[in-house]
């Protein structure tokens, strides 16, 4: 070959040939190589010494091989592994150079299109002609192996050390191995090495495992099913009973939202006393009408008809409306978002009596009843701050103070007023910020804080209508455009729940953080085991079915 490989061959698994980053490789032990040779009938050591073959094995193939040799897995996914041959060139006959990895990660590697070249033969699945091999571990304790075992024992110990009085070897059971590891105070890595050596010398009982897989999620797995890339709960009442939670649909709300990599549906308790229970999780799914309709149908929403709490984009999709800031974007009335001269002036708008497809930005049949919608307090709070910052004087001291207070935020986000909940709490607790504002800005900011504390939280003041009226007056004086979130405060104040803190979408946003570590553990794969594992943590941490963690609250500092 006249040229070298364009990319490292050690980015691909020796066994399956798939893309494998360094942190997802398996440690190549003699036992693993021997198991490979036993299963496929190929000497892995000799093959890996060839210069044109990868020198790594992915963790998935390693787990399959070890599970097969331990008797917990019937077979590998394929009968013939990846066969590597010397490349004729690195342009048209190199598997590594011809496979495009640009833009892919460990979570999206299933979308990679691997090259078809003569120098690499892809794995062949099992069939009737090529059945899975029988695990040799079943014959470890047979009488035919007794002489071989005894000869290996004499290499490192006497018969009296490990054997009985008759000189027969003692095969370590699972409890024996666990006691030995505990007595020697071995780490997980060293314990696996010890178990591997004992397994090589045929000193382990055929039921003893080196790595014990957790089975804690099995009692919850039966409540979840996988369909394509969506995992959903097929029995909500059964799951709640298993969690020792009395399920009354009117006491729960359904929260639907998406993060960067997944779309989630979770049940939140009204009052946030009980834990959040996930009922749907989809990998690489976007907030579209088809995906939300699939979730609504799979979780049997029509059977319970719970209230729904979500951001305004999801609410619009559920009600069959066109996404984006359209002319008629309110689902309760025919508010004209483009008639800016009428904003802050006209309070009453014609109500939406019937949703007619193709008219007033209605594109599809609504999936839920509009009366079951809960307006999201957190997103309304974010919208108020966003409109306020966009209307501020960009050359004023107040706006410059925001830039200094959030140095890690990009100038584009600050200019557009894009903040999250912790940022707003930090801004509210900063007493210097108020003093930097001019008179009009100060009045508007004080009004926003009053609404957040006396209406959008757990406390609703008796004069909340006057507080909101003062807010609208100050925003109008500031020159802030009326958004959909401000429109609800202006025209649909009666549609809000009495205690917005009990039905806030903030607890749904917090669920994203709670399940984030679980998603990392399962490496972004759509599997019922992940949601079952999360439900097990609920049962473990909350034996009485109560939610012990309290909601976060910002300090009620005086701002003037």
Average confidence score pLDDT of the chain: 84
Whether residue 28 is found in the same domain as residue 77 = yes
Query: What is the reported pLDDT for 518?
Result: 81
Whether residue 229 is found in the same domain as residue 93 = no
Residues whose CB falls within 8 Å of the CB of residue 513, separated by 6 or more in sequence, listed in order: none
Query: What is the reported pLDDT for 205?
Result: 84
Structure tokens at 476: 């109008």
Residue 459 has pLDDT above 50, yes or no: yes
Q: Is the residue at 172 inside a domain?
A: yes
Whether residue 113 is found in the same domain as residue 147 = no
Provide the pLDDT confidence category of residue 149 given band limits of 50, 70 and 90.
Answer: very low
Q: What is the pLDDT of residues 205-220, one digit of tens each?
A: 888 877 655 677 788 9
The answer to whether 78 and 124 have CB atoms below 8 angstroms apart is yes
Whether residue 269 is found in the same domain as residue 151 = no
CA distances from 122 to 117, 119, 420 (A): 9, 10, 48
Provide the pLDDT confidence category of residue 554 given band limits of 50, 70 and 90.
Answer: very low
Q: Is the residue at 71 inside a domain?
A: yes
Query: What is the reported pLDDT for 188?
Result: 65
Whether residue 114 is found in the same domain as residue 13 = yes
Say how many domains are in the chain: 4
Q: Is the residue at 207 inside a domain?
A: no
Q: Is the residue at 434 inside a domain?
A: yes
Q: What is the pLDDT of residues 336-391, one digit of tens each?
A: 999 999 999 999 999 987 777 878 889 999 999 999 999 999 999 999 999 999 99
Q: Is the residue at 257 inside a domain?
A: yes
Query: What is the reported pLDDT for 524?
Result: 73
Whether residue 397 is found in the same domain as residue 471 = yes
Q: Is the residue at 157 inside a domain?
A: yes
Tell me the C-alpha distance between 304 and 317, whole Å. 20
Q: What is the pLDDT of residues 103-142, one digit of tens each?
A: 888 788 888 899 899 889 999 998 888 888 888 765 443 4
Whether residue 368 is found in the same domain as residue 382 = no
Whether residue 172 is found in the same domain as residue 79 = no
Whether residue 111 is found in the same domain as residue 147 = no
The answer to whether 292 and 308 have CB atoms below 8 angstroms apart is no
Question: What mean pLDDT is predicted for residues 70-97?
Answer: 86
Whether residue 112 is found in the same domain as residue 20 = yes
Tell me the C-alpha distance between 192 and 329, whole Å. 60
Provide the pLDDT confidence category of residue 145 given band limits of 50, 70 and 90.
Answer: very low
CA atoms within 13 A on the CB side of 142: 7
Question: What mean pLDDT is predicted for residues 130-155?
Answer: 55
From 311, 280, 300, select the one nearest 515 (Cα to Cα).
280
C-alpha torsion sign, points 206, 208, 209, 212 = positive
Question: What mean pLDDT is predicted for residues 523-539?
Answer: 85
Q: Is the residue at 336 inside a domain?
A: no
Radius of gyration of the chain (CA): 31
Domain region containing 17:
9-121
Buried b (16+ CB within 10 A) or exposed e, 308-322: bbbbbebbbbbbbbe
Provide the pLDDT confidence category of residue 467 given band limits of 50, 70 and 90.
Answer: very high
- Give the distance between the most distant pair of CA atoms in the chain: 101
Could you tell me which residue, 125 or 153, shows the higher pLDDT?
125
Whether residue 397 is found in the same domain as residue 304 = no
Q: What is the DSSP letter of 20?
A: -
69-83, 102-116, 165-179, 247-261, range with the lowest pLDDT: 165-179
From 88, 121, 154, give the residue that closes a domain: 121
Q: Is the residue at 169 inside a domain?
A: yes
Q: Which helix (H) or strand (E) holds 266?
A: strand 262-269
From 112, 147, 137, 119, select the one nearest 208 (Cα to Cα).
137
Structure tokens at 25: 């490789």
Whether residue 111 is found in the same domain as residue 152 = no
């Amino acid at each position: 070959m006249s040229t070298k490989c364009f990319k490292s061959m050690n980015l691909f698994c020796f066994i399956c040939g798939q893309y494998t980053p360094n942190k997802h490789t398996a440690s190549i032990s003699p036992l693993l190589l021997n198991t490979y040779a036993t299963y496929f009938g190929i000497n892995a050591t000799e093959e890996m010494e060839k210069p044109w073959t990868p020198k790594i094995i992915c963790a998935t193939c390693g787990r399959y091989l070890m599970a097969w040799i331990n008797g917990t897995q019937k077979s590998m996914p394929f009968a013939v592994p990846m066969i590597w041959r010397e490349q004729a060139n690195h342009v048209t006959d190199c598997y590594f150079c011809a496979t495009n990895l640009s833009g892919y990660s460990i979570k999206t590697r299933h979308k990679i299109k691997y090259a078809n070249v003569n120098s690499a033969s892809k794995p062949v699945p099992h069939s009737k002609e090529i059945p899975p091999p029988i695990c040799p571990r079943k014959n470890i304790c047979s009488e035919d192996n007794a002489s071989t075992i005894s000869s290996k024992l004499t290499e490192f110990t006497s018969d009296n050390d490990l054997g009985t009085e008759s000189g027969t070897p003692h095969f370590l059971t699972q409890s024996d191995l666990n006691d030995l590891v505990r007595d020697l105070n071995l780490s997980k890595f060293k314990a696996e090495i010890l178990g591997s050596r004992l397994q090589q010398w045929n000193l382990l009982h055929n039921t003893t495992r080196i790595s014990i897989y957790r089975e804690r999620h099995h009692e919850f797995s039966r409540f979840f099913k996988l369909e394509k890339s969506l995992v959903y709960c097929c029995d909500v009442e059964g799951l709640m009973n298993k969690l020792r939670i009395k399920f009354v649909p009117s006491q729960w709300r359904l929260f639907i939202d998406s993060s960067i990599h997944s779309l989630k549906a979770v049940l939140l308790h009204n009052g946030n006393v009980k834990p959040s229970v996930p009922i749907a999780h989809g990998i690489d799914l976007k907030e579209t009408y088809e995906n939300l309709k699939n979730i609504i149908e799979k979780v049997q929403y029509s059977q319970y008809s719970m209230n729904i709490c979500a951001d305004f984009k999801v609410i619009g999709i559920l009600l069959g409306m066109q996404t984006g800031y359209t002319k008629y974007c309110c689902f309760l009335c025919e508010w004209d978002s483009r008639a800016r001269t009428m904003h802050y002036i006209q309070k009453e708008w014609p109500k939406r009596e019937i949703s007619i497809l193709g008219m007033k930005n209605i594109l599809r049949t609504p999936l839920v009843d509009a009366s079951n919608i809960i307006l999201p307090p957190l997103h309304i709070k974010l919208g108020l701050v966003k409109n306020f910052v966009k209307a501020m004087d960009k050359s004023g001291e107040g706006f410059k103070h925001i830039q200094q207070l959030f140095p890690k935020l990009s100038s584009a986000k600050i200019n557009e007023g894009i903040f999250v909940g912790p940022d707003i709490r930090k801004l509210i607790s900063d007493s210097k910020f108020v003093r930097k504002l001019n008179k009009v800005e100060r009045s508007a900011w004080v009004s926003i804080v009053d609404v957040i504390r006396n209406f959008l939280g757990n406390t609703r003041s008796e004069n909340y209508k006057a507080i909101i009226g003062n807010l609208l007056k100050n925003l109008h004086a500031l020159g802030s455009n009326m958004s959909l979130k401000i429109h609800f405060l202006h025209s649909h104040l009666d549609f809000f729940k009495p205690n917005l803190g009990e039905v806030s979408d903030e607890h749904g946003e917090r669920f994203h953080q709670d399940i984030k570590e679980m998603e990392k553990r399962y490496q972004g794969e759509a599997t019922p085991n992940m949601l079952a594992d999360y439900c097990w943590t609920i049962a473990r941490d909350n034996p009485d079915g109560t939610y012990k963690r309290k909601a976060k609250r910002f300090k009620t500092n005086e701002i003037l």
